[in-house]
Amino acid sequence: MRYLLILIAVLLSFGQPVQAEKQAVREFIIDTDVGPDDVIALAYFIKQPNIKIKAIAVDGDGNAHRDAAYANTMSILKLLNRSDIPVAAGRANSYPGGHSFSAAVMHDMDTLGGLALNKENLETPKQTAKELMIETLTSSDHPINILAIGPLTTIAEVLTEKPNLKSKIKMIYEMGGAVQTEGNIFTVNNKSTNHAAEWNIYFDPLAAKIVFQTGVPITLIPLDATNQVRINDKFYQQIKNHHKTPAAKLVYDLLTLNKKFLYSNTWYFWDPMAAVVAADESVATIKTLPLTVLLSPEDKAGGTVIDKKNGNNIRVCMKVNAIKFKENLLRGLSIP
């Protein structure tokens, strides 16, 4: 009996550190341009019990116009009972050489395909996204993670103005790029000859290049991984049958109003995959590759290419466990 009690005590002592590690809270800044897939990512990520959101930086040069993106963010936080999170908006224009959606597409992004969250006329705060990010990083006594699900403009501004803050960034999880697969610019702009770039990088290639070259730790979730899992009717039906929480209902409403994309077979879990990987890297197969962001020629601008001579080492998600990814996403959206 004595030996049995000793054995139990030993087993419990081994188990405690593992349990503590699982419950450790990780701090994040979210950098988002608030398109429809950003909404899914935010609904999932904000509710994670082991993740603390320190601030949200809203991009003004990505999917949506700055004011609409900011207003939608504030509405999302209100719906999820997280209006306590500080939010600021970024610059409206990218660095030189940037790109944007057409006016018609921007309208769809501003209204989230009809979801129309921004029913209130909200003025963007005087504090900019750059200033909020600098303040959040500076005031922390330890490195913070960043979930970046839009162009890297604000992060580039921060690291250019305050290069010493690189040490305050533990990891940037960035949805962006197309490393060993075709880009997706032509899927929105059918006149484009650019088959190399992905939109988050293409919005502001120079900003991405600046961030890559700082050597700050980056985990890239490119089209190579996101192309493996579509947002389809099966996922919609799962949400439809279990949309009892505010987060799940928000996603259900979004998908219901955007069925044309749902059934187009061209809608992927871009930003939600980055959020799930940031929360649990075990869903992905990650490989370190030397990457460079191309600025020219135009038909390759924004391309993320392997460059063994001049590239910076970036952790790249090459594959994803589709079953585990969807399980994690659905479970996260079901958190009250």
Domain membership of residue 182 (yes or no) is yes
User: What's residue 265's pLDDT?
Assistant: 86
Q: What is the pLDDT of residue 19?
A: 37
Cis-peptide into 272, omega within 30 deg: no
pLDDT tens readout for residues 265-276: 889 999 999 999
Provide the pLDDT for residue 118: 61
Q: pLDDT: is 8 or 106 the higher one?
A: 106
Query: What's the average model confidence in pLDDT over 320-326?
Result: 97
Cβ-contact 224, 318 below 8 angstroms? yes
Q: Two tokens at 234?
A: 């099966």
- Do the domain assignments include residue 19? no
- Predicted confidence (pLDDT) at residue 16 exceeds the cutoff of 70: no
Domain span at residue 123 reads 26-333
- Asked if residue 11 is part of any domain, the answer here is no
Q: For residue 195, what is the domain's CATH number?
A: 3.90.245.10
Is 70 in contact with 58 (CB distance < 8 Å)? yes
* Residue 336 pLDDT level (bands cut at 50, 70, 90): confident
Bridge pairing between strands 218-221 and 284-293: unpaired
pTM of the model: 0.92
The answer as to whether 151 is a domain residue is yes
- Average pLDDT over every residue of 284-307: 98
Share the mean pLDDT of the chain: 91
pLDDT at 9: 41
Domain assignment present for 7: no
Beta bridge partner(s), residue 212: none
With 70 as the cut, is the pLDDT of residue 116 above it?
A: no
Sheet of 304-306, strand order: 87-89, 51-58, 26-32, 144-149, 169-175, 218-221, 312-320, 284-293, 304-306
Residue 90 has pLDDT above 50, yes or no: yes
Query: Is 162 inside any structural domain?
Result: yes
What's the mean pLDDT in 243-251? 95
In the chain, % of residues over pLDDT 70:
92
How many structural domains comprise the chain? 1
The residue that leads in pLDDT, 10 or 123, is 123
Residue 79 has pLDDT above 50, yes or no: yes
| Per-residue model confidence (pLDDT) at position 21 | 43
Residue 98 lies in a domain: yes
Q: Are 284 and 317 in contact (CB under 8 A)?
A: yes
Sign, CA dihedral 154-110-253-175, equals negative
Which band of pLDDT confidence, cut at 50, 70 and 90, is reported for residue 87?
very high
Would 248 be classed as within a structural domain?
yes
Angstrom distances, CA of residue 37 to CA of 231, 238, 245: 10, 17, 18
**Residue 17 has what pLDDT?**
36
